[in-house]
Structure 1
């Protein structure tokens, strides 16, 4: 169980990597001319901005996720902490899908709240671990 936080951390890194690839593809018409419309415009202009914003989001709140996981790796994290890590990753996937594909700000806010609470939960476990609580 002590290494059980590694897979969700890797999954989040994979999501960020995928977003870099997606952003590269979306920018290809403008940067390399690959996939331009006949009028020379980029067919991915609107979605490119949302991908870029979402990629930036992967380096904001998720920082606290990774730090909490790294700290918890020093202890024996509970299955609840591991579940919170996976909830966070699934939430990030949903957040990316909502932000990139829909632009629905209300739904994105709800999904972010789930991510936010999952990380807060992980930090509660960090706090308990620092106090040598057996609950971690």
Structure 2
């Protein structure tokens, strides 16, 4: 396996690590509160409003990890499967994942909307460029 392919897999693994880290942190914020009886299970069976702000932010951010990142995973896997992975894909993938970390950090801390939106929008642009680049490489490559 080529170095660029390994690096693309590392980028995907870092995105998975972010998702799992948010899930773990969210669990540490939520589960003890329910176990201690601070939050009745009936109040959280459908809505998250009973949780304190930090737990809701973590929950929202966890949900967010299944939006744009899904399109990232598909692009990365398509790149690996088709054999067109190059440095451009790796750089765009790493940049996208870095922006997801920035977005998550903003989202679960001060949650300043303008900063969070800027990080999200930048990630979206990088992801769109990755997809356009990947499509061009796939459609213009002979033998694919």
Which TM bucket (shorter chain)? Answer: 0.7 to 0.9
Long gaps (5+) in structure 2 = 40-50
Alignment root-mean-square deviation, CA: 2.0
Q: How far is the alpha carbon of 1:10 from its aligned partner?
A: 0.4
For 1:3, what is the secondary structure of its paired residue? helix
Pair 75,50 (structure 1): closer, same or farther in 2 beyond 3 Å: same
Whole-Å separation in 2 of the counterparts to 1:111 and 1:133: 32
Structure 1: gaps spanning 5 or more residues: 37-43
1:92-131 aligned at under 5 Å gives the runs: 92-131=100-139
TM-score (norm 1): 0.85
Structure 1 residues 98 and 127: CA distance shift in structure 2, 3 A? same
Instruction: Check the 8 A contact 1:99/1:108 in 2, yes or no.
Output: yes
Q: How far, CA to CA, are the matches of 2:52 and 2:35 in structure 1?
A: 14
Q: How many residues align?
A: 127
Q: Is the 8 A contact 2:89 2:134 kept in 1?
A: no
TM-score by length of 2: 0.81
